[in-house]
Amino acid sequence: MDNKKFLGLLTGSNDAPRLSTTAIIIAVVFLIVPLAMLQLAPQFMQTAEDGQPGQEDFNLAMAYILTDLNDQAAIPVLQRAADAGNPKAMLVLGVMYAKGEIVPGDMDKARSLLEEPARLMFQPALNFMGIMAVHDGDLERAWQLFDDSLERSTVIIYDEDRLTPNYWMGYLYSNKQFSRYNLHAADMYMARAARSGREDMQLRYAAFLIFETMDYGKAIPLLETLTAKDNVKSKALTAFLHAEGYGYEKDCAKAFDLATDCADQGSGLAMTVISDLYRTGCGVPRDPELARVWAEKARAARD
């Protein structure tokens, strides 16, 4: 099985992994709303930029969203603020259209709304537009947006939120279609993202080390740490390594035990490992029919 196929199984998609919706929305909220608003203090409707056009509408919309009063009611108010030229409203609406949250997904609207906050170097806007550029195949544009996010952002949320452009810079440098293809640079950026402590970033870095640089010495400690936390994807990838003898002594029986546990939890990668073991008769009796059944289960899990 080729590396891209395994990375797709590992991350649940056939392309580069996307950020979680919850993480993005939380990041945007904390970027644009002071802590006092979360505490519903008397200054709830105040910000340092009350002079911005559409600020009152923006504050009202965020009150709807933050207090879960009525997300749908926030949309026309946000749109009014965005139409007035409020860059924060453009940012929030752009995120919503990009993710299809509360409003129908519309990438053209998302791009249009995010252009101004990106011009102002708002980090979330730069990151979103960079991700969209990746999926549009415009890798040079994506690189410039992520580079701006890392080097020239006017707003940075928390240090760990810099993992977004760090991960994607690593992804770009590991892409052979990218003019600056450089696995050493990719390793550097992905390692920075992994140091955030986020399990998804550590898992992606481990996958990069295994499938791109074959650096099992660096990948296996990451996987062992994640497996100790009962991370299913990490355990499934460890099963694959045992089945293939990559970084470990080949141990098909151990691979089967690990993969069976993960398959029970819905891992498509683990199901593929089980299928391969039955197909080759490694660690289990050879059984082409069971191999076919598990391969079909793996395809269904990916769908």
Q: Domains of the chain: which residue ranges?
A: 232-303
Q: Report the distance separating Cα 228 and Cα 225, nearest Å.
A: 5
Q: Report the distance separating Cα 30 and Cα 25, nearest Å.
A: 9
- Residue 25 has which token pair? 């929305």
267 bridge partner residues = none
pLDDT for the residue 73: 84
pLDDT for the residue 67: 77
Q: How far apart are the first and last CA of the chain?
A: 18
Residue 52, φ and ψ in degrees, nearest 5? -70, 145
pLDDT for the residue 23: 37
- Nearest CA to 79 out of 46, 50, 120, 112 is that of 112
Which residues lie closer than 8 Å to 221 by C-beta, 6 or more apart? none
Q: How many CB atoms lie within 10 A of CB 260?
A: 16
SS3 at position 222: helix
**Amino acid code (one letter) for 25:** I
- Nearest CA to 81 out of 110, 104, 106, 56 is that of 56
Q: Report the distance separating Cα 209 and Cα 96, nearest Å.
A: 34
Which residues lie closer than 8 Å to 42 by C-beta, 6 or more apart? none
What are the tens digits of pLDDT across the range 62-90? 888 887 666 788 899 999 999 999 999 99
Which residue ranges in the chain fall short of pLDDT 70?
Answer: 1-51, 68-70, 155-161, 303
Q: Report the distance separating Cα 77 and Cα 197, nearest Å.
A: 37
Q: Report the distance separating Cα 98 and Cα 186, nearest Å.
A: 26
- Nearest CA to 128 out of 18, 34, 26, 29 is that of 18
pLDDT for the residue 196: 85
- Residue 226 has which token pair? 């994640």
**Amino acid code (one letter) for 1:** M
pLDDT for the residue 20: 38
What are the tens digits of pLDDT across the range 288-297? 999 999 999 9
